[in-house]
C-alpha cells in the first residue's frame, strides 16, 4: 500500500529543466509530442539544445506546437521537427522511420510516449486490432524494432546506457492489473472491457521494455518502463465526464510526467544493469514490483510462468509483415 501511496504523493523530482545539462548534439523522438506530457518533454529537450522529432498524427497541431515552443525559447540552440506517424496504423510506421533515417545518422533516446485509454466501444485499428493494443503496444513495438539499427549505431560511440528507449506504463500495474500480467485471451476476445484492456496494455509495455533490454542490453542500449504519474492530460478524454472531476485533487500538471520521463531518459544514476526495470514518479526505481509480474517475465524453465513470452511472441507475429 505504501508504494501505491507514494505514486499519488511522490517525492520532489530531481531532474528538471532547471538542472538538465545541455543536450546539444543529441537527437530525440517523442511520440504524441503535441499535447500533455509529450509537449512538455519536447519543450524541455528543445530548450536544452537537443534536436527533437515530434511524432504524431496531425501536422497542423504539430506545426502550431513547434511554433509555440520556438517562440517561447528564442535563444535555444535546439531544433524541433514534425515526423508524421499514426501508431495505430502499422502501415505508417516504416515510412516514418525511413523518413527519419534518411536525414538522421543517430538517435539518442526514443520516447514511446503516446498512448490511448478507454476509447469508444468497438474502436479498432486499421489492421483490426483493439485500439489500445494497437496504439499502446503494437505500434511502439514496431517503431522500436525498426529504429533499433540506428540506436545500435549511436550506442557504439557512447558510454553504456547513454542510448535509451522509454516505454510508458501506469499506476494500474500496481493496483489492478491482472494476475501474471497480460491476459492475452482477454485482449484477443475484446470482451473484457476497455479499462481491463488498458491494464493489459500497460503491463504489456513493461513486458516489451524488459524484452528489449534483453535484446539490446549487450549493445549498450537501456530500455526501461515508466509510470509518468497521475496527470491532468488528454489520456482521460474518453472517460465519463465525472471521473476526471472526481480524481482531480489527485492529478498533477503534465510537466510532472515529463520529469518522470526525463529522469528515465537522461539520469546518470541508471546503468545498463537497470534494463527492464520499472520507474516511478517523478524519477526513481520501483522498490518492490509485484512478484507475479516479475514471475511472468521469467520462462517456465527459470521458475516463471512464461506469460510475458507469449505476449511478446504475439506482438512479434503482428508486426512481422510491416517490417
Residue of 35, 117, 155, 169 with catalytic role: 169
Task: Indicate if the pLDDT at residue 240 is higher than 50.
Answer: no
pLDDT at residue 189, as a whole number: 67
Residues above pLDDT 70, as percent of the chain: 93
Residue of 34, 53, 198, 252 with catalytic role: 198
Task: Indicate if the pLDDT at residue 266 is higher than 90.
Answer: yes
Quickly state the pLDDT bin for 193 (edges 50, 70, 90).
Answer: low
Q: Model confidence over 106-146: pLDDT tens digits?
A: 999 999 999 998 888 778 999 999 999 999 999 999 999 99
Quickly state the pLDDT bin for 36 (edges 50, 70, 90).
Answer: very high
Quickly state the pLDDT bin for 178 (edges 50, 70, 90).
Answer: confident
Task: Indicate if the pLDDT at residue 42 is higher than 60.
Answer: yes
pLDDT at residue 188, as a whole number: 74
pLDDT at residue 190, as a whole number: 60
To the query of whether residue 169 is one of the catalytic residues in this protein, the response is: yes
Q: Please tell me whether the peptide bond between 282 and the residue prior to it is cis, using omega within 30 degrees of 0.
A: yes
Whole-angstrom Cα distance, residue 168 to residue 301?
29
pLDDT at residue 241, as a whole number: 43
pLDDT at residue 183, as a whole number: 78
Please count the structural domains in the chain: 1
Domain that residue 285 falls in: 2-322
When pLDDT is averaged across residues 241-264 and rounded to a whole number, the result is 78
Cβ(279)–Cβ(305) under 8 Å? Answer: no
Quickly state the pLDDT bin for 292 (edges 50, 70, 90).
Answer: very high
Among 42, 15, 16, smallest CA distance to 28 is for 42
pLDDT at residue 14, as a whole number: 98
Task: Indicate if the pLDDT at residue 236 is higher than 60.
Answer: no
Residues above pLDDT 90, as percent of the chain: 82
CATH of the domain at 146: 3.40.50.720
Residues contacting 97, CB < 8 A, separation 6+:
143, 146, 147
Q: Report CA Rg, the chain.
A: 18
Residue of 26, 43, 51, 202 with catalytic role: 202
pLDDT at residue 72, as a whole number: 96
When pLDDT is averaged across residues 271-290 and rounded to a whole number, the result is 98
To the query of whether residue 24 is one of the catalytic residues in this protein, the response is: no
Task: Indicate if the pLDDT at residue 237 is higher than 50.
Answer: no
SS3 readout for the chain: CHHHHHHHCCCCCCCCCCCCCCCCCCEEEEECCCCHHHHHHHHHHHHCCCEEEEEECCHHHHHHHHHHHHHHCCCCCCEEEEEECCCCCHHHHHHHHHHHHCCCCCCCEEEECCCCCCCCCCCECCCCCEHHHHHHHHHHHHHHHHHHHHHHHHHCCCCCCCEEEEEECCCHHHHCCCCCCCCHHHHHHCCCCHHHHHHHHHHHHHHHHHHHHHHHHHHCEEEEEECCCCECCHHHCCCCCHHHHHHHHHCECHHHHHHHHHHHHHCCCCCHHHCCCEEECCCEECCCCCHHHHHHCCCHHHCCCCHHHHHHHHHHHHHHHHC
To the query of whether residue 51 is one of the catalytic residues in this protein, the response is: no
When pLDDT is averaged across residues 182-199 and rounded to a whole number, the result is 74
pLDDT at residue 281, as a whole number: 98
What's this model's pTM, rounded to 2 decimal places? Answer: 0.94
Q: Which residue did the predictor score with more confidence, 197 or 76?
A: 76
When pLDDT is averaged across residues 286-301 and rounded to a whole number, the result is 96
Amino acid at each position: 500500500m505504501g508504494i501505491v501511496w507514494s505514486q499519488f504523493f511522490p517525492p520532489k523530482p530531481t531532474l528538471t529543466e532547471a538542472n538538465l545539462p545541455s543536450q546539444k548534439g543529441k537527437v530525440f523522438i517523442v511520440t504524441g509530442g503535441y499535447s500533455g506530457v509529450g509537449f512538455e518533454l519536447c519543450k524541455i529537450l528543445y530548450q536544452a539544445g537537443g534536436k527533437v522529432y515530434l511524432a504524431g498524427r496531425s501536422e497542423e497541431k504539430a506545426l502550431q506546437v513547434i511554433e509555440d515552443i520556438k517562440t517561447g525559447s528564442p535563444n535555444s540552440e535546439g531544433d524541433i521537427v514534425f515526423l508524421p506517424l499514426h501508431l495505430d496504423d502499422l502501415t505508417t510506421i516504416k515510412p516514418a522511420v525511413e523518413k527519419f533515417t534518411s536525414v538522421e545518422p543517430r538517435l539518442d533516446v526514443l520516447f514511446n510516449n503516446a498512448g490511448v485509454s478507454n476509447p469508444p466501444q468497438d474502436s479498432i485499428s486499421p489492421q483490426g486490432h483493439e485500439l489500445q493494443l494497437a496504439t499502446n503496444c503494437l505500434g511502439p513495438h514496431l517503431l522500436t524494432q525498426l529504429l533499433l539499427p540506428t540506436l545500435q549505431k549511436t550506442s557504439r560511440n557512447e558510454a553504456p546506457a547513454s542510448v535509451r528507449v522509454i516505454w510508458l506504463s501506469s499506476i494500474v500495474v500496481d493496483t489492478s492489473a491482472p494476475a501474471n500480467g497480460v491476459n492475452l485471451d482477454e485482449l484477443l476476445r475484446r470482451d473484457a472491457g476497455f479499462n481491463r484492456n488498458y491494464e493489459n496494455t500497460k503491463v504489456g509495455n513493461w513486458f516489451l521494455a524488459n524484452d528489449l533490454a534483453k535484446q539490446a542490453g549487450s549493445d549498450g542500449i537501456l530500455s526501461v518502463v515508466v509510470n509518468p504519474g497521475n496527470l491532468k492530460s488528454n489520456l482521460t478524454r474518453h472517460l465519463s465526464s465525472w471521473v476526471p472531476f472526481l480524481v482531480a485533487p489527485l492529478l498533477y500538471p503534465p510537466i510532472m510526467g515529463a520529469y518522470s520521463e526525463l529522469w528515465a531518459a537522461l539520469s546518470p544514476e541508471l546503468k545498463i544493469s537497470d534494463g527492464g526495470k520499472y520507474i516511478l514518479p517523478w524519477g526513481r526505481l520501483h522498490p518492490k514490483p509485484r512478484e507475479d509480474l516479475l514471475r511472468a517475465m521469467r520462462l517456465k524453465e527459470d521458475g516463471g510462468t512464461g506469460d510475458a513470452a507469449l505476449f511478446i511472441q504475439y506482438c512479434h507475429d503482428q508486426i512481422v509483415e510491416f517490417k
